[in-house]
């Protein structure tokens, strides 16, 4: 495995490990004009586990598969925090949404969550 920096035609960059011409190992990829950044582990060109930060400051910390959030992860959007499963880029069957001191436990498909209970922390 080798490493280095690659500058994309659109202005994005990748700094980190390479194998067979693809991101592999640990690295940081920044989108064009600061349109987000992923820092973490890569396997043959795909994100595995790491942190994606949007220009707004929102973040996702967790697992990935084939370029999509997949597995356990935490998404922070301002005061909203989702902790739980992800499946092919969508919220998974089980998770918890927090807003300030309130928590909502979820069970569902990610697109149509069913609230289990609200509680004040």
pLDDT, tens digit, for every residue of 64-108?
A: 999 999 999 999 999 999 999 999 999 888 899 999 888 888 776
Domain ranges of the chain: 1-57, 67-121
pLDDT at 77 (0 to 100)? 96
Write out pLDDT tens, residues 16-30. 999 998 999 999 999
Residue with tokens 């880029």: 89
pLDDT at 107 (0 to 100)? 74
Model confidence, pTM: 0.84
Q: Which residue has the higher pLDDT, 44 or 116?
A: 44
Query: How many degrees, rounded to 5, is the angle at CA 24 between CA 31 and CA 53?
Result: 30
Share of the chain above pLDDT 90, in %: 70
Q: Which residue has the higher pLDDT, 56 or 116?
A: 56
Confidence of residue 120 (pLDDT cuts 50, 70, 90): low
- Judge whether residue 119 has pLDDT over 70: no
Q: Where are the beta strands (DSSP E) in 1-121?
A: 2-7, 13-19, 22-30, 37-43, 46-53, 59-65, 68-77, 80-87, 90-99, 102-107, 114-120
């Amino acid at each position: 495995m080798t490493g280095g920096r690659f500058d994309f035609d659109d202005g994005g960059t990748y700094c980190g490990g390479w194998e067979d011409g693809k991101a592999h190992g640990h690295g940081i990829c920044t989108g064009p004009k600061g349109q987000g950044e992923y820092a973490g582990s890569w396997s043959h060109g795909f994100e595995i586990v790491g942190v994606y930060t949007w220009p707004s400051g929102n973040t996702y910390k967790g697992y990935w598969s084939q370029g999509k959030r997949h597995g356990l992860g935490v998404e922070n959007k301002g005061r909203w925090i989702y902790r739980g499963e992800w499946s092919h880029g969508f919220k998974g069957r089980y998770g918890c949404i927090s807003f300030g001191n309130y928590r909502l436990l979820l069970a569902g498909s990610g697109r149509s969550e069913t609230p289990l209970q609200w509680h004040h922390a």
